[in-house]
Structure 1
Amino acid sequence: MKLLRPLLVVFGGLTLITGLAYPLLTTGAAQALFPFQANGSLIERDGKIVGSRLIGQNFSGPQYFWGRPSATGPMPYNAGGSSGSNLGPTNPAQLDAVKANVARIRAAHPAQSGPVPVDLVTASASGLDPEISAAAAFYQLERVAAARKMEPAALRKLVESRVIGETFGLLGEPRVNVLELNLALDQAATA
């Protein structure tokens, strides 16, 4: 009984600190300093939420830029089931999926003779990557321009305006947020 009272006091104190005070403090700080990010980086158009800047979506029509394939289950681009496939690079199922994706991309872009950008044929670790490399966006440029009956040069300028540089000027590679690019493309079509 002598040891039980201090243990209960420590347990109660740590529960209040780590279970109540710390979450309230971090939530309050996030809401005060980064409200857009703390609330899911949601993108609205005409008063409707159309997606999150942080979660990839399925764009499959020829008039849109396509993102990375999704490996989430039980359906693709399921934000509630974020996960990769857990298949290694030499796993036959993984190799078959990549081959199928390469064939699909090549069929959709017959004018392209160069290598298919790897991010158009492989899923990310989360299965929900919202961005593709700038090279992957430029690879799709002619298909989207033809489907939209746009001049490729005008579409190239739009894509270039949406390219995000390396993080801190040195990490990663230039990339494009697919949802934001497609929304800008739709907006340009109605303007």
Structure 2
Amino acid sequence: MKKIMITSLKSIVLFTLLCGVVYTVTVTAVGQILFSKQANGSVVKQEINGKTEVIGSSLIGQTFTGENYLHGRPTKVSQLSPVSKIQEELVNERVKQADVKELPIDLVTASASGLDPEISVDGAMSQVERIAVARNMKKADVRAIIKQNIVGLKMGSISSQRVNVLGVNQQLDESE
């Protein structure tokens, strides 16, 4: 019995060291060496008044409400069915607030997480006129900034392209 207890304790110590220390340190080291930016939260920094400050993350959507900014998806989390009456009312309300003839669906429907950092290319391009007027910029300049922040792939008619909202707004601020 004593031999079994000692063997069991040795196994517990061994596996605690292997799984709790060695594995954790190895995964952390690999993450820091190969994927440092992602492992540290993909933090976006900007120099403000001579100091470098964290302004957000390229992985987490921030809320921009000013007329001079590109707006992302609604941040209120939605677990509603796409065909539910409540979802329909929320979408209709957002469409009325936008006061635009055609509005891409991602600008009026919230995501399940509420943290989407990107919107569709159509969603971004639909906001060009508003941003250009608010910033007194040429529409072509706003479009160019949006195009610089497109991520994803396009292969023929299949596309996963989207626009990083924080990246666009950061460049818009820098262009002033």
1:90 aligns with 2:95: no
Between 143-152 and 170-179, report the one with greater CA deviation: 170-179
- For 1:104, the equivalent position in structure 2 comes to 97
Distance in 1, Cα, partners of 2:137 & 2:154: 31
2:153 touches 2:161 (CA, 8 Å); kept in 1?
yes
Q: Greater Rg, structure 1 or structure 2?
A: 2
- For 1:134, the equivalent position in structure 2 comes to 121
Over the residues paired in the alignment, what is the CA RMSD in angstroms? 2.2
Counting matched residue pairs gives: 171
Cα displacement string for residues 32-57 of structure 1 (whole angstroms, at most 9, x for unaligned residues):
11111111111111101100111100
Identity %: 41
Unpaired segments of 5 or more residues in structure 1? 72-83
Q: TM-score, normalised by structure 2?
A: 0.87
Distance in 2, Cα, partners of 1:169 & 1:179: 27
Distance in 1, Cα, partners of 2:171 & 2:18: 45
- For 1:164, the equivalent position in structure 2 comes to 151
Q: TM-score, normalised by structure 1?
A: 0.81
Deviation of the 1:167 alpha carbon: 7.9
Distance in 2, Cα, partners of 1:164 & 1:127: 19
Deviation of the 1:98 alpha carbon: 1.8
- For 2:61, the equivalent position in structure 1 comes to 56
- For 2:112, the equivalent position in structure 1 comes to 125
Cα displacement string for residues 127-178 of structure 1 (whole angstroms, at most 9, x for unaligned residues):
1000011110001111111111111122112212222231899985211100
- For 1:12, the equivalent position in structure 2 comes to 13
Unpaired segments of 5 or more residues in structure 2? none
Cα displacement string for residues 15-43 of structure 1 (whole angstroms, at most 9, x for unaligned residues):
22221111111111111111111111111
